[in-house]
């Protein structure tokens, strides 16, 4: 007989599996139709769940996009961990401007479906107040996730304004890659972009 804890964990696992299925279906829809044109019915049709089953977990596509990008953040942190391990580095080594810039440029230039959706989301957020609030929520959650990863070592070193500035800078390049199809041009000029990002990081550190 399952104990209370085991039942809770089993229920949690089922919940996570179903939410993951819904989010994967949403990703397919967003890539096919764009975020703005995707309806709840589109997503429901690509899952094995009933309409009520999907609405039990998500009331709208905005809620899905938040969870999708939170999973994206976890994946990005996993990539950073791999980078650290493969290069025999410590977390403190990531404070080096050159390494930080390299990781950020890799994020900008990555050919990942989620980045295409993120770029669509940024464009739509400019015209949708509620969506922009979702963007702000994602931005804050991303910052907290990074602080947890670095064990809050840099919490007092980087202000919210500085974090937002770096986010805006990276988002500008991400929009260029995924909306203006500038990936090939940016790849050819990767060193220049890296120096721009590195310069911004150095400036922020000097201001702290």
CATH of the domain at 16: 1.10.10
Residues 130 and 159 in one domain: yes
Residues 137 and 153 in one domain: yes
* Dihedral of alpha carbons 42, 47, 52, 54, sign: negative
Determine contact, residues 66/134, Cβ cutoff 8 Å: yes
| Predicted confidence (pLDDT) at residue 6 exceeds the cutoff of 50 | no
Q: What is the pLDDT of residue 144?
A: 86
Domain encompassing residue 38: 1-59
Residues 147 and 104 in one domain: yes
Residue 112 has a CB neighbour count (10 Å cut-off) of: 14
Residues 105 and 200 in one domain: yes
Residues 114 and 187 in one domain: yes
Residue 165 has a CB neighbour count (10 Å cut-off) of: 15
How many structural domains comprise the chain? 2
Averaged pLDDT, 34-55: 95
Q: What is the pLDDT of residue 39?
A: 96
Least confident interval from 9-13, 80-84, 199-203? 9-13
Which tens digit of pLDDT belongs to each residue from 94-147? 889 999 999 999 999 999 999 999 999 999 999 999 999 999 999 999 888 877
Whether the model clears a pTM of 0.75, i.e. scores above it, the answer is: yes
Averaged pLDDT, 39-53: 96
Distance CA 50, CA 31 (A): 22
Please say which residue of 23, 42, 59 terminates a domain. Answer: 59
Q: What would the DSSP string read from start to end of the chain?
A: ---HHHHHHHHHHHHHHHHHHHHHHHHHHHHHH-TTT--HHHHHHTSSS-HHHHHHH-SSHHHHHHHHHHHHHHHHHHHHHHHHHHTT--GGGGGSHHHHHHHHHHHHH---HHHHHHHHHHHHHTT-HHHHHHHHHHHHHHHHHHHHHTTTTTTTTS-HHHHHHHHHHHHHHHHHHHTS--HHHHHHTHHHHHHHHHHHHHHHHHH-
Residues 202 and 136 in one domain: yes
Residues 120 and 68 in one domain: yes
Mean pLDDT of the chain: 87
Residues 46 and 100 in one domain: no
Distances (CA, A) of 127 to 32, 51, 121, 165, 206: 21, 28, 10, 21, 35
Which tens digit of pLDDT belongs to each residue from 49-69? 999 999 999 999 999 999 999
Place of tokens 């804890």: 5
- Residue percentage of the chain with pLDDT more than 90: 63
Which tens digit of pLDDT belongs to each residue from 143-198? 888 777 766 544 445 567 788 899 999 999 999 999 999 999 999 999 999 999 99
* CA neighbor of 110 nearest in space, from 200, 196, 183: 183
Residues 145 and 52 in one domain: no
């Amino acid at each position: 007989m399952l104990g209370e804890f085991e039942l809770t964990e089993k229920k949690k696992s089922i919940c996570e599996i179903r939410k993951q299925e819904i989010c994967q279906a949403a990703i397919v829809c967003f890539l096919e139709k764009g975020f703005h044109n995707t309806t709840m019915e589109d997503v429901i049709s690509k899952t094995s769940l009933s309409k009520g089953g999907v609405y039990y977990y998500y009331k709208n596509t905005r809620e899905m996009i938040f969870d999708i990008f939170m999973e994206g953040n976890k994946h990005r942190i996993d990539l950073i961990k791999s980078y650290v391990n493969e290069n025999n580095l410590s977390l403190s080594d990531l404070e080096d401007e050159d390494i930080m810039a390299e990781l950020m440029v890799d994020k900008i230039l990555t050919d990942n479906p989620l980045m295409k959706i993120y770029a669509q989301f940024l464009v739509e957020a400019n015209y949708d107040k509620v969506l922009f609030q979702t963007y702000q929520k994602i931005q804050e959650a991303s910052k907290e996730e990074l602080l947890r990863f670095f064990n809050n070592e840099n919490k007092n070193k980087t202000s919210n304004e500085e974090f937002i500035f770096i986010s805006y800078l990276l988002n500008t390049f991400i929009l260029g890659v995924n909306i203006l199809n500038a990936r090939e041009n940016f790849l050819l000029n990767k060193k220049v972009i890296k120096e721009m990002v590195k310069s911004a990081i150095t400036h922020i550190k000097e201001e702290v």
